Amino acid sequence: MNLLKKGIYVLLLTLPFACSSDDDTTTDVKEPLITLAVDAISITVGDAFTIPTATAQDDVDSSVTLTSSGTVDTSTVGTYTITYTATDAAGNTATKTLTVTVEESSNTGGEDDSNKDYSGCTDPNAINYNPFATLNDGSCKYSFVGDWTAYYYTINDVDILSSFNYFDILFFADSTCLIDAEGADGTQILTSGRASFNDINNTMTLTPDNGASEVWNLTYFNGEVIYMNLTDASGYHVTRWVKY
């Protein structure tokens, strides 16, 4: 791995993000990003309805204010709008709307479909969570945005995390990231780079700003942990990261 130096192993893990240093004083003028699983939902008169949860990330603030407004009268046929609003500390505001259509029941034969199963993503931690799905169809997608720490890293089955006091990677919604690690001798390590994730073959291409690209195999990712491995000239790398 081309980021190794004097026995201290440094892994650059980024998504399609370009990293920025702590002394970046660029004014925050970008609004937060609101993520909602779907933009429109259709339900039948009399169905129970709960406003779906949205998420919001900001390129500067670790958390932003996210609210929703609007109501849905499930007893009356019509089209209703739920509006989500996110505001960061600089006052930048973003909105996203969810259209909810309440329709007449098509069940004219008296058939009870209240126990009918619906396929979709059933994991509330996923960005495309469908609160009406009862069968998980394997379509769940998760965000890499957040703070991750390595809790397992070996090269040819040899643990290298003993060379660090901590090893954190932070991903932000505006496609920036920061690697913040501290060597066992107290030396701080900050690095940057770019990467892209291929969700067809589950690989992540990592390109440090000062090095060549590497293609990592993503073997497990559920929004809370990441498992990745790579074979290069230095050996077989196995890494595991947890979000906190």
Would you give per-residue pLDDT tens digits along the chain (244 residues)?
444 333 444 444 433 333 434 444 567 888 999 988 788 888 888 888 888 888 888 888 888 899 999 999 999 999 999 999 999 999 999 999 999 999 987 655 555 555 667 788 888 888 888 888 888 888 888 888 889 999 999 999 999 999 999 999 887 777 777 788 999 999 999 888 877 788 788 888 877 777 788 889 999 988 899 999 999 999 999 999 999 8
Helix ranges (DSSP H) in the chain: none
- The mean pLDDT of the chain is 81
Residues 6+ apart with CB under 8 A from 203: 197, 215, 216, 217, 218
Query: Domains of the chain: which residue ranges?
Result: 33-121
Phi, psi of 178 (to 5 degrees): -145, 125
Burial 202-212 (b: 16+ CB within 10 A, else e): eebebebeeee
CATH number of 33-121: 2.60.40.10
The answer to whether residues 162 and 148 touch, using CB atoms and an 8 Å cutoff, is: no
Q: How much is the pTM?
A: 0.53
Closest CA to 69 of 83, 50, 81, 52: 83
